A and B are shown apart, each in its own frame.
Chain A
Amino acid sequence: GENVEQHPSTLSVQEGDSAVIKCTYSDSASNYFPWYKQELGKGPQLIIDIRSNVGEKKDQRIAVTLNKTAKHFSLHITETQPEDSAVYFCAATPAAQKLVFGQGTRLTINP
């Protein structure tokens, strides 16, 4: 089945700097790749997603890139702010709408 690997597991950046989180997937049939932000004690919230027919998508300070050939996709957050501190999960959809999640990245923004 699909396997999603996410790195790094923790990331600490200075406020205003950029943060990059990377994921790889194994199933070439996966065609939908969302990124979620989860705050402590809450459910995941979608922050951006990309489909396999697109290479890059941007929404204000957040962008996602996808390399289908290499089977990896990345989340880029620019001009980081303290409220960006949270756990971020990538996911891939191999079949039947199922989501397979990466292990998560704990992002800390230092003021």
Chain B
Amino acid sequence: GAVVSQHPSRVICKSGTSVKIECRSLDFQATTMFWYRQFPKKSLMLMATSNEGSKATYEQGVEKDKFLINHASLTLSTLTVTSAHPEDSSFYICSARDMGTASDEQFFGPGTRLTVL
């Protein structure tokens, strides 16, 4: 089946630093990937839609300058949390759709736990 990977799985950083999270579709191509944020015992909230070769589309209330998204190829999207602060600590999850099928199914990565000290 379709596999999505994320790297790193866990990251701890100091307040004020930037952190980059990678999302890769391993065995399919994706023109569109999605980034979600999940707080403990809460649901997934869509942050932005990552479009290959163009700008990401951010959901209302999500700071585009804070969460930089780059989708440079059909298998890789990156999320950079700039000048991270403790309130940015969360579980970040990406997903992707297989552009080679008509299916609506989104394949999710294993998530990245970010802790900002």
Contacts and interface: CB of A to CB of B under 8 A. Distances in A.
Interface of A: 32, 34, 36, 41-46, 49, 51, 89, 93, 96-104
Contacts of B12: none
Interface of B: 4, 6, 32, 34, 41-46, 49, 93, 95, 97, 104-111, 113
Chain A, interface SS category: loop
Chain B, interface SS category: strand
Given A32-B104, A34-B105, A43-B6, 13 more contacts: A34-B106, A43-B109, A43-B110, A46-B107, A46-B108, A49-B104, A49-B105, A97-B32, A98-B49, A99-B44, A99-B46, A101-B43, A103-B43
A90 to B, nearest CB: 10
A89 B95 CA distance: 15
Contact of B106 (A41, A99, A102, A104): A99
